[in-house]
Amino acid sequence: MRAAPQRHGVRVARRLTLTFALLITLLLIVGAGALTVTSMANGLQRRVLTELEPEVRENLRVRERANRMHRAVRTYLLTGDETELVGYERAREQSFAALAAARRDTTSAVRRNLSAQHRELRAYVTVADRQAKATPGSDEANRLTVQAARRFATFDATNRRLELSLTREMNRLEARADTILRTSIVGIGVLLAVGGGVAVLMSVHTTRALTRPLRSTAQTLGRLAAGEHSARARETGPEEIRAVARSVNVLADESDRLRGVERERTSLSQAARELGIRIRDRLDVDYVLDSACGGIGEILAADYVFVLLAEEGGSAFPLARVWSAERGLLPDAEARAIPSLPADVVRDHYRRGTVWLVADLPRYLSANTPIAGAPGSFGKVGMPTENRAAAAALGLESAVVTPIGVGEEPIGAVCVARTSGRAWRPVEVEIAESMASGVGRALHTSLLYEKETRLVEKLRALDKAKSDFLSTVSHELRTPLTSIVGYVELLKDEETGSLTPPQRRMLDVVDRNANRLRALIEDLLTLSRIESGTFGSMKKPVDLHGLVASAADAIRPAAETASVTLETHCPSGPLVLEADGDQLDRVLMNLLSNAVKFTPEGGKVTVGADARNGEAVLTVSDNGIGIPAAEQERLFQRFFRASNATDAAIPGTGLGLTIVHTIVANHGGEMEVRSEEGRGTTFTARFPITGENGAASC
């Protein structure tokens, strides 16, 4: 009777042994499978994080440097600003340095693409170097721009192909990891179902003790796979099952962390872009400084923001703005009281081209201790006493310092600091550097605008002083010149005695040059009135045909003396304009005298006026020396004279056509010039027609 129970006990023990052996085997399989899945998933994720994502970033950095180089040389060709060439040279070096960095420790397929990028970028740089030497706006510059754009597009396409290939590989690995997780869930579920069935047959308690935690873990994996990121596995049951749950939870926590970092980066980047747009709204240094300080401080949750700007010829970088989270912008006097940074610290930092993060600032404030990794004298002998005292008074514990500038020299630095022990995260340091760079560009532009504004004001003052001087001198010269001309006329009348032929010739020379000088003075006075805005017209009905006839009669003796034929072409009848007759006569005399003066012996000058399409058209043409095509755009500028007229030593002041252009514009008209060097010139003036026709002819 005892044997049977023993045998039964043995059977039960054997069954329990088999059950536990099966369960242990099952657990080992599940644990091994979970660890394997975890390892494979970690391996895939590690490859994405340590291989593919760095390759994508390096490839993007190559494209960013190349784009910066491309923009610099295009900006130079558009604006002629030679400082852009410095940026171009730096970006070119950075582009190839980025390519070299990207080619290290990478796969052969990626290396082949990077080699292709290197060749294509080298081909583009060959053209870009020629662009940098070309004259902005020239035909060669335009041709090289087209060629450079084509080669840059080839490089950009190759770069983007690599980015697309790497992105696809990342997606493939992520999909593979997801497939592994899903497959493992299915496998674990099957094993659990089998083990649960055997356990139910042997022991409900054993089954429940083993299957419930596994089922919970499987459900957690399913919820995570379905997108429920807050799901976590309960760490219950045997160690192997708890290990699986922990692994699942670790993976879920890491995924949450990465998503949180990405969300934070996206949020900070958006805020940084909005700040950049805001500070570029106005070209005002104070506005940029005020907006940048408050914006950077709020975006990065900093306790203080310091902006330092270089002073011309200074040995330090004083604070231009200080922002406090509690008080906002500090008064200028209070900001200036904070010690400046030594110039060598900022310049050394700028040359390094990286941000400077000081996470444990208090340890360097009690004594003059060199700061590890700090630029300039801070890294050699430590902070000066006044800087340490100021930092301690403000309670600063950590800071991120970014130099700003464009070109070889920095224009300042941006420092964001915290007084609490909260550490700076990498994404915050990255955004701080990005925003500081944007502030640097905005400040550079605003400072250039201020300098240009001051220069324009100085030039305007100089121009006004010149105009006032010309007006004063012209007025002062007119009185004695009138006296000279009057006495010359008296001498010619011989009331003081007869003149010998040589004396009369000398008086003619004096009279001719005095009249030329008087005409020059009148031109200068007219130019002065034009520039001061007091030049006006006394308009009344005027017959343009009559003015043409009178001017032709007045200029005919000079034309005959120069052996130049003068012809007039006017239809019969009047051509009435609402105009200032004296000013129109001056237009005709200036144009006709120029035509006669620049036409060689045997040439011909033609003047005519007619009504066309509701306008009065006045034309003066000659077959003289003409005007070089490259100089015709400057023809109506004051004191401008064509190079061929200067080479031929033909006298003139370069003011006549300026006055003509102003008179025509004051009458609501337009001037046109057609000229060919060696073939002649035609001036055409168009005026609106008013008045009535009468009897008049040329």
Structure confidence by residue, pLDDT tens digits, 598-608: 898 889 999 99
CA distances from 43 to 51, 93, 188, 445 (A): 11, 36, 20, 48
CB of 387 closer than 8 Å to CB of 339: yes
The pLDDT value recorded for residue 133 is 86
User: Can you tell me the mean pLDDT for 289-304?
Assistant: 85
- Alpha-carbon distance of 337 to 326, in angstroms, equals 19
Mean pLDDT of 579-589: 84
More confident residue, 489 or 449: 449
**Measuring CA to CA, how many Å separate 28 from each of 36, 68, 149, 222?**
12, 57, 63, 21
Give the pLDDT score at 475: 59
Please give the pLDDT value at position 546: 87
Identify the top-confidence range among 404-418, 456-470, 483-497: 404-418
Mean pLDDT of 500-526: 70
Collapsing DSSP to helix, strand or coil, 636 comes out as coil
Domain boundaries, the chain: 14-266, 280-453, 540-688
pLDDT at 472: 65
3-state class (DSSP) for residue 610: strand
pLDDT grade for 581, boundaries at 50, 70 and 90? confident
CB atoms within 10 A of CB 192: 24
Q: For residues 367 and 388, what is the distance between their CA atoms, to the nearest angstrom?
A: 8
For residue 9, what pLDDT band results from cuts at 50, 70 and 90?
A: very low
Q: Return the pLDDT at 607.
A: 92
Q: CATH homologous superfamily of domain 540-688?
A: Histidine kinase-like ATPase, C-terminal domain (3.30.565.10)
Helical H runs in 203-284?
204-225, 239-279
Contact 311, 318 (CB under 8 A): yes
Equal fold, 280-453 vs 540-688: no
pLDDT digits (tens, 9 = 90+) for 611-648: 888 888 999 999 988 888 888 788 777 777 787 777 77
Structure tokens that stand for 585 in this block: 């006569």
Is residue 659 very low, low, confident or very high in pLDDT (cuts 50, 70, 90)? confident
pLDDT, average across residues 267-282: 76
* Maximum mean pLDDT: which of 75-89, 416-430, 596-610, 637-651: 596-610
Average pLDDT estimate for 402-411: 83
Residue 438 has pLDDT above 70, yes or no: yes
**Helix orientation angle between 139-202 and 204-225, rounded to the nearest 10 degrees:** 170
Partners of 479 in the β-ladder:
none
CATH number of 280-453: 3.30.450.40
Alpha-carbon dihedral sign for residues 124, 126, 131, 132 = positive
Nearest alpha carbon to residue 152 among 35, 230, 252, 72: 72
Residue 120 CA, chain-centre distance (Å), reads: 25
pTM of the model: 0.44
Sign for the pseudo-dihedral over CA of 613, 618, 622, 626: negative
123, 126, 129, 130: CA torsion to nearest 10: -120
- Is residue 16 scored above 50 in pLDDT? no
Quote the mean pLDDT of the chain.
79
State the Rg of the chain over Cα.
44
Q: What percent of the chain has pLDDT over 90?
A: 3
